[in-house]
C-alpha cells in the first residue's frame, strides 16, 4: 500500500514553531528598545541620576515586600488563633453533637 503525499501550503508544516519564533523576535525587539531607552537616559542624565532612580525604585519595592511580609505574618497569627478557638470549642462541645465533632476531628487528624 503506497500512501500519497499531500501537498501542504508553504507555512503549514512549521505551524507552532514559526509562531514561537515570531513571539520570540517580538520579545527581543521590545527588550532591545527598552535597553536603548535606558542608554539614552544614561547619556542624557548621567549615570549618577539613573543609578539614583534605580536605587529609589528598588528601595520602594523592598518596602512593599516588607509590608506584605508583615501582613502575611498577621494573617497567619489570626488564622492560628481562630484554629485554636475552633479546636477548643470542639473539645468542649457538650452532648452527642460534641462527641460526633470530636470523633470527626480525630478521623481528620488520623487521615491527614
Over range 72-87, report the average pLDDT: 97
Residue-range domain boundaries for the chain: 21-111
Helix (H) or strand (E) holding 90: helix 47-92
Q: Which three cell numbers stand for residue 67?
A: 509590608
User: Is it the case that residue 9 has pLDDT exceeding 60?
Assistant: no
Q: Tell me: pLDDT of 16 over 80.
A: no
Local confidence band at 7 (pLDDT 50, 70, 90 cut-offs): low
pLDDT band at 15 (very low <50, low <70, confident <90, very high): low
Residue 92 C-alpha from the chain's centroid: 41
Residue 4: pLDDT over 70:
no
CB 72 within 8 Å of CB 64? no
Please tell me the distance from the alpha carbon of residue 80 to that of residue 39, in angstroms, as a whole number: 50
Amino acid at each position: 500500500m503506497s500512501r500519497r503525499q499531500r501537498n501542504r501550503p508553504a507555512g503549514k508544516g512549521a505551524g507552532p514553531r514559526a509562531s514561537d519564533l515570531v513571539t520570540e523576535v517580538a520579545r527581543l525587539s521590545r527588550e532591545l528598545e527598552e535597553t536603548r531607552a535606558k542608554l539614552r537616559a544614561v547619556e542624557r542624565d548621567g549615570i549618577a541620576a539613573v543609578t539614583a532612580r534605580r536605587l529609589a525604585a528598588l528601595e520602594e519595592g523592598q518596602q512593599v515586600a516588607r509590608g506584605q511580609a508583615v501582613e502575611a505574618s498577621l494573617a497567619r497569627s489570626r488564622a492560628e488563633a481562630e484554629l485554636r478557638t475552633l479546636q477548643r470549642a470542639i473539645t468542649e462541645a457538650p452532648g452527642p453533637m460534641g462527641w460526633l465533632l470530636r470523633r470527626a476531628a480525630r478521623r481528620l487528624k488520623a487521615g491527614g
